Structure 1
Amino acid sequence: MRVTTLTMMHMSVFLLLVSSASASHYYGGFLTFTPKGLNPDGSLTVEILYREAYRICFPYQTWYCYSGNCGITTRSVTGQIASYSGPSYSWCQLETILIKNVPTDSPFEMREASCCWIYAPNNNGQWNLFAHIDLGTRSDTRKPNSSPVTTIPPFIRVLQNCPQTINILAHDPDGDHVRCRYGTVQNMECGTCYNDPDFYLDENLCTLKYNKSNIIGPHIFELVLEDYPTRPITVSHMNGMSLTKYPFHTSSNGSSSPTTTAPDPLSKIPLQFVVVVDQASPSCTPGQYIPKFVFPTPGNGESLSAPVKKEMKFIINATAIYAMLSAIVITGPLNMTEYVTMHGHFAEAVIKWTPTDDDLGDNVPICFTAQSTFGTSTFESEMRCLTVIVVHSIGTGTASVFCTEGTMTVEVDKSSVPGLHEENLHLKDPLCTLTSNSTHVIGIMSLNSCGTEVEEDNTTITFKNEIISFESADGIIARTNDVRIGFSCNYPKRGQSYFEFTVHKIPFVFTEKGFGTFTYQFEIFHSSLFNSMVDPSTYPVEVNLGEMMYLQIVATAQLSNTILFVESCRATPSDNHNYPIFYSIIENGCIVDDTVVIYAGNQTVFRFGMEAFKFIGLHERVYITCSVILCEAGNHTRCSQGCVNGTATPAPHYRRRRAAITETSSHFISQGPLQLRRSSDSIGSSLTLNMNVVFIAGALLVALATVCGALMYRTKMSALKYQKLPSTEF
């Protein structure tokens, strides 16, 4: 009996500790729902997903049925999906998935409430989460409504002196219009129910705009997301009740019309989070102290398709030239894996997730931010979010792959993929389309083009790409089967061929409908005679400051009577044309650097020279990247337009002409690296360095680790993504 009493006392103490831990430890949460179909007995299955964040990883609370028939839970899964630990704030985010069997499609409501929020001014600590769910059948889709899809890192940072717009993820699987508003007391949608005057919530765009605040520290946000149809529809229920749902009309300034009563939404879901205002930053420019996302990071609002049982992967890259990258914070689904590496001023995260059969039809939200530090200060990037749409397993097809030291050729038997349409196919880089003959679809590309990814282990380097189908620009409907055909070439880590394609760039090969296969060869020469090319085995090319460099681009195409046009060239300290530090040489077909000399060539040969330089700071290497286009001669194309002054982009009609197959897409090609020759001669020649370059490059100080030898691919190739595979995958 004494043992039992002591055990009960210990449990009471534990529960008291848990209760104390939850006080002032809530960081926010949200709930979404997805109908999963009608059961044979007439009941419905619905998936309820909610994420909540606390200072300690513990599922403190559970949702309960507030009104209506919420059914019974047949399965429940809970797990940690994200966490953060810093000097002032720490949090852990949990995801719970409930599979419910609901006997009727009538509306029901769920609620969760407790205490307490983390400390913040104008916050009473209490929190409430409220969701309205209606599984009636819509007249437009003939299916039950799905709620808006959202997620958010529970803790977002802004800088006191830097205006920022937080784009709240508000994706709707049914194509409805989503509004974001503050919760109200009368609807039990919030605890504090405070409309923060330092932030402006655009309800119709779902953006939270910050300008300036005198309050340093946490600000609490308790929002509600509502979805409205874009035209009037009816929602019918099994009990014979039918409700008409109307669009939400707004006035010209974006507010609701004062002369009409706001219509009832299809659903209501909560979204609560914390925004912390940090001390002022020396600069508000992304990429300096504040991290900036760079290629190939997905853009905000993008949608990705993920077939069931097939691994989905994307890469996040971030940089800050004056601060050190310290974290990439990602909130995504259970069982998502993250491989995050920090390289001083640069960080990379490789995100992988494999959906299961249970995820079919789901729209899965993922959001991420990057953080950097300088001294005791922390800086956070913009928040980016994307939605992963889980689809049926897709066609695999039968592909034959032919590998050389410089190219991959893939041939797909048309008969192996019913309904295969060449015009709906491209490689990982959407600009790289394919050609075909009567029996096969064909793609030819170099190892450093068309979105090719590079992976390596201790003995092998692998180049991977995919043939992917695409649909119309509206992205709403599909009339062809999804296709995703992967192919790769494996090379042993030995021999001359490996050395050559890890340093010197081999010719860039592309395939496009209407142009077939064409090649760009970018080389460096010893003199203006262009009769002696720099030996590829001597790369990286050593130069003296101020010394003339001679570069040549040659285009070779299956079509005759073509013209090569060099649209732009820039120098970067990294082999990535989107790298934030660059020096322009040619822009929009116009010469920018005043040391550039154009030499005689022909329609498919472009030759130019310029004085060598380096980026001031710790950069030892320079890469030259150019954007090039191939056109048919005699047509009005971007090639015939020539130099476009200023930063103007080509007129829209060139895109329409592109459909007539008179010019290729713009492709990036690069060569390098060039590096400063370490000798007394190079020191003396530095006096001839173009002062314009010194001024511009001097303002872009940054340190970038340079990896040599067999790992040269860690400096990103143009349109090429690199990651080192964990040894556990082999």
Structure 2
Amino acid sequence: MASTLVLLLPMLLASLASASHNFGGSATYTYKGRNPDGTFKVDFRNRATYDGCQYSHYWYCYNGNCGSNPSNQVGVLDSSTNAPQYNREWCETETVSTRNVPTDRPFQMRADSCCWISNRNGLSNWRLLTSVDLGSRSDTGEPNHSPDVAILPFLRVPQNCPRTYKLMSFDPDGDRVRCRYGSVSDGECGTCNQPSGFILDEGSCSLHYLNSNADPSPYGFELVVEDFPQRHITLAYTDGGGDSRAPLTERRKRQHQPQPHGGAGAYTYTTYPGTTRNLHATTPPLSKLPLQFSLLVDPPAPSCQEGHYLPQFVHPTPGNGARIQAEISKEVEIRVKAQAAYATIQDIIITGPLNISKHRTSYDEFAIRWSPNLDDLGHHYPICFAVESVTGSAGSPLPGTTLSYHYHPSPSSQSGVYQSEMRCVLVDVRKEQVKSHVTCGESTMTVEVEKSSFRGLSEEHLRLSDPSNTACSLQSYSNSTHIIAVVPLNACGTQIEEDDENLIFKNEITTVDSTEYLITRKNQLEVQFYCQYPKHGNVTLGFTAHRRNVTVWEKGFGTFTYQFEFYPNAQFQTQIDPNDYPLEAAPYDNPNYWPTYPIIDNGCNVDPTVEIHSPAHQRQFQFSMEAFKFIGLHDQVYISCSVLICAAGSPSSRCSQGCLNSTSAGHQHHRRRREAATQTVRHFISQGPLRLRRAAESYKSPVINLNLNLVFIAGCLLAAVGMIGAVVIYKAKISRVKYQPLPAFEN
């Protein structure tokens, strides 16, 4: 018995730890068809939000036969540090689990534990309940499809700014959806205390915030989403049984709760003008889903006008409820932009399907990206988002306003965070409409479109964004089976932007009349394509004497190749044979190794003997210098450089600035600056090791390992194949050495 207790105790502690600090969660399910053994295949998507990314809800079979669970996928959807400070952050994860269910009779899954985050409406233990019915519907002939529900896990609103949140609740079967507060007696929630100052319209699934006092603890919401048929239907089960479902009946109720109006410090209470709909059910729902989240009431904002402190969405942000078409195996991108005159746009928070990602672009927009796979075909996925702005403090009032309130947050709590309205869109996944393939090269993008995937169009009626250059003609490379475009990265209307990870080059093929480039009367076709080139990473090819070409790459992305070579003279005609490099090891090839002797720093010549030569190609940088050696007992030395890529002609890029005066010397580290837009971060490459060659050594003779060291460089070339521009920083590296000129007889 004692040994049993020892084994169970760690499991109990882990369970309690993973259950603490819950912000909320949700669940949906998708019927995926019958397995070969006759069982029913169902995918469950369960979302959990905690104050860390390592936790998730544990679901178990609560009622009926829930079948087996052979597989799980878990991933992080989003996280943010703009939460109550004592909770550090919130992080939402999603678990996609596949269950093989032996019967189509109803069953229930549940997750429960302790505890909610500290909240204002007394929630302690949490409980989520999902009800599934796989009976065949008389109206569709298939099992029921659950509503697609979604909401951001952590919402925030200023105390004085009324707001309406439209919960995403799309039903693929066209059923009527009801959103209501949970019931303790039905096991749907832990406490089910309804927050004050809010009105829930069950029929439209709209949550209206009216008024409340600011507080550092959020409210917790424990809602239930159900679907009911629009008319009476029957359900048939494989065991011969059946059941019936009825539509909802509606009861309207006029609301008379007060609502604040005006800016901060000015409150005029009037009657809430809306009418809510309470929906009454006479039969069980077709499905029952939990939808739980947290909402923080912040101190009053200096202004409730969108676009002042509260971010206001602008073009090209899609409208709330928009339907977006996506194709399997192709990335769909949703562009979001917001503005705030008296605050700084900081971040976007999102929720959506597994593997969704967000990025901030160089155009002050956010890009939400997701790639559906074959298993997603025919399904619908809601994506919700909101943009957050910040000020240095609670914000400066607008001219002519007076700000006063009695909320005194602790010194550690955050202030001056403003969240926009929440918008949700629905992504419909369909088959590939136009078959195309994009190849990302070092200086071009090649797109191939199968003509058989669309009808009635030829290359004469298609064009790139800017076809004025003859190199941009689609007739140059197209053939009888494919429309082919080879698009330079800096021509044909190609647009360049960047996010934190990539440089992105975009273009599109659109329909035109052969003689009119502004309008078209042909069948419409629009193929948008882009190439992404990764920006981050130190790259080397180590442990050989001569460094071959180094390529920065990522699967499915384009590449830029850097080549670093030495030449015996300033004509740069014949590079030194790699076989002549004297050593076979490179123990000090490290971008952080110190000390170094700077040759070119921040684009400025540091060594007085450096000469810059005109290259034979615009993608090359050539320089030479007098040979020298390091003082000390070392027999090897390296030349290293740090390069970055810029968009040609961009006046704000680092490349356009040329030499910048630097205070760095041989004993000072180079300080990394924040790179401007349309350029990459620096990439580290190196070449070597190099050492002094004595007169007794012929150019092809075996290497004699002398205890000397030398930067042997009459000519040196850096080639960035596919580069648009470059800034280079060259340094010679060796351990604990000083610099001295090399005697003339050793040059």
| Pairing partner for 1:442 from 457, 461, 475 | 461
C-alpha separation between the residues in 2 aligned to 1:22 and 1:255? 35
Residues 108/85 of structure 1: CA separation in 2 closer, same or farther (3 Å cut): same
C-alpha separation between the residues in 1 aligned to 2:385 and 2:200? 21
1:243 aligns to 2:243 (yes or no): yes
1:641-699 alpha-carbon deviations (Å, 9 max, x no partner): xxxxxxxxxxxxxxxxxxxxxxxxxxxxxxxxxxxxxxxxxxxxxxxxxxxxxxxxxxx
- Say whether the 8 Å CA contact 1:78–1:94 is kept in structure 2: yes
| Pairing partner for 1:353 from 341, 347, 370 | 370
C-alpha separation between the residues in 1 aligned to 2:386 and 2:139? 37
1:396 corresponds in structure 2 to: 435
Cα drift, residue 9 of structure 1: 8.0
- Say whether the 8 Å CA contact 1:224–1:268 is kept in structure 2: yes
Residues 47/14 of structure 1: CA separation in 2 closer, same or farther (3 Å cut): closer
- Say whether the 8 Å CA contact 2:337–2:364 is kept in structure 1: yes
| Pairing partner for 1:75 from 71, 74, 92 | 71
1:272 corresponds in structure 2 to: 292
1:321 corresponds in structure 2 to: 341
1:430 corresponds in structure 2 to: none
Residues 153/71 of structure 1: CA separation in 2 closer, same or farther (3 Å cut): same
- Say whether the 8 Å CA contact 1:28–1:273 is kept in structure 2: yes
| Aligned ranges 1:109-508 → 2 under 5 Å | 109-216=108-215, 217-251=217-251, 262-341=282-361, 347-376=364-393, 377-396=416-435, 416-417=452-453, 420=455, 442-444=461-463, 446-447=465-466, 490-493=487-490
1:39-94 alpha-carbon deviations (Å, 9 max, x no partner): 23321100011000111223354111111110101211122221111362511111
**Aligned partner of 2:319: which letter?**
G
| Aligned ranges 1:473-552 → 2 under 5 Å | 490-493=487-490, 518=516
C-alpha separation between the residues in 1 aligned to 2:249 and 2:99? 34
1:578 corresponds in structure 2 to: none
Aligned residue for 1:19, secondary structure, equals helix
C-alpha separation between the residues in 1 aligned to 2:449 and 2:91? 47
C-alpha separation between the residues in 2 aligned to 1:14 and 1:463? 66
1:308-331 alpha-carbon deviations (Å, 9 max, x no partner): 222222222222121111111112
C-alpha separation between the residues in 2 aligned to 1:499 and 1:72? 51
Q: Which has the higher helix share?
A: 1
- Say whether the 8 Å CA contact 2:70–2:98 is kept in structure 1: yes
Structure 2: unaligned runs, 5 residues or longer: 254-274, 394-415, 439-444, 475-481, 498-507, 522-645, 654-676, 684-721, 723-747
- Say whether the 8 Å CA contact 1:31–1:131 is kept in structure 2: yes
**What count of residue pairs does the alignment treat as equivalent?**
466
Cα drift, residue 380 of structure 1: 0.4
- Give the TM-score normalised by structure 1: 0.56
Residues 558/358 of structure 1: CA separation in 2 closer, same or farther (3 Å cut): closer
C-alpha separation between the residues in 1 aligned to 2:178 and 2:681? 43
- Say whether the 8 Å CA contact 1:122–1:192 is kept in structure 2: no
- Say whether the 8 Å CA contact 1:113–1:129 is kept in structure 2: yes
- Say whether the 8 Å CA contact 2:311–2:338 is kept in structure 1: yes
C-alpha separation between the residues in 1 aligned to 2:510 and 2:95? 46
| Aligned ranges 1:19-30 → 2 under 5 Å | 19-20=16-17, 22-23=19-20, 25-30=21-26
C-alpha separation between the residues in 2 aligned to 1:517 and 1:158? 54
Aligned residue for 2:231, secondary structure, equals coil
- Say whether the 8 Å CA contact 1:511–1:518 is kept in structure 2: no
Residues 218/395 of structure 1: CA separation in 2 closer, same or farther (3 Å cut): same
Cα drift, residue 204 of structure 1: 0.6
Report the more deviating stretch, 281-290 or 212-221: 212-221
Cα drift, residue 245 of structure 1: 1.9
1:577 corresponds in structure 2 to: none
| Pairing partner for 1:63 from 59, 63, 70 | 59
Cα drift, residue 558 of structure 1: 9.3
C-alpha separation between the residues in 1 aligned to 2:389 and 2:422? 14
Aligned residue for 2:250, secondary structure, equals coil
Residues 14/411 of structure 1: CA separation in 2 closer, same or farther (3 Å cut): closer
- Say whether the 8 Å CA contact 1:153–1:367 is kept in structure 2: yes
Cα drift, residue 368 of structure 1: 1.2
- Say whether the 8 Å CA contact 2:179–2:205 is kept in structure 1: yes
2:31 corresponds in structure 1 to: 35
Cα drift, residue 487 of structure 1: 7.7
**Aligned partner of 2:70: which letter?**
T
Cα drift, residue 207 of structure 1: 0.8
Report the more deviating stretch, 347-356 or 91-100: 347-356
**Aligned partner of 1:490: which letter?**
V
1:88-107 alpha-carbon deviations (Å, 9 max, x no partner): 25111111111011111000
Cα drift, residue 500 of structure 1: 13
- Say whether the 8 Å CA contact 1:78–1:97 is kept in structure 2: yes
Cα drift, residue 349 of structure 1: 2.1
C-alpha separation between the residues in 2 aligned to 1:302 and 1:388? 9
C-alpha separation between the residues in 1 aligned to 2:230 and 2:389? 41
C-alpha separation between the residues in 1 aligned to 2:31 and 2:227? 15
Residues 354/397 of structure 1: CA separation in 2 closer, same or farther (3 Å cut): closer
Residues 395/411 of structure 1: CA separation in 2 closer, same or farther (3 Å cut): closer
Cα drift, residue 255 of structure 1: 6.2
Residues 14/266 of structure 1: CA separation in 2 closer, same or farther (3 Å cut): closer
C-alpha separation between the residues in 2 aligned to 1:226 and 1:500? 46
C-alpha separation between the residues in 2 aligned to 1:95 and 1:105? 25
- Give the TM-score normalised by structure 2: 0.55
Cα drift, residue 28 of structure 1: 0.2
**Aligned partner of 2:59: which letter?**
W
C-alpha separation between the residues in 2 aligned to 1:516 and 1:160? 59
Cα drift, residue 445 of structure 1: 6.7
**Aligned partner of 1:327: which letter?**
D
**Aligned partner of 1:220: which letter?**
G
Residues 713/95 of structure 1: CA separation in 2 closer, same or farther (3 Å cut): farther
C-alpha separation between the residues in 2 aligned to 1:135 and 1:163? 41
Cα drift, residue 356 of structure 1: 2.1
1:370-397 alpha-carbon deviations (Å, 9 max, x no partner): 1111123100011111222222333427
C-alpha separation between the residues in 1 aligned to 2:155 and 2:347? 13
1:561-608 alpha-carbon deviations (Å, 9 max, x no partner): xxxxxxxxxxxxxxxxxxxxxxxxxxxxxxxxxxxxxxxxxxxxxxxx
**Aligned partner of 1:219: which letter?**
Y
2:105 corresponds in structure 1 to: 106
Cα drift, residue 493 of structure 1: 3.7
Aligned residue for 2:149, secondary structure, equals coil
Structure 1: unaligned runs, 5 residues or longer: 400-407, 423-435, 450-460, 465-484, 503-508, 521-556, 560-706, 715-721
Cα drift, residue 252 of structure 1: 5.3
**Aligned partner of 2:649: which letter?**
A
| Aligned ranges 1:13-24 → 2 under 5 Å | 16=13, 19-20=16-17, 22-23=19-20
C-alpha separation between the residues in 1 aligned to 2:291 and 2:472? 43
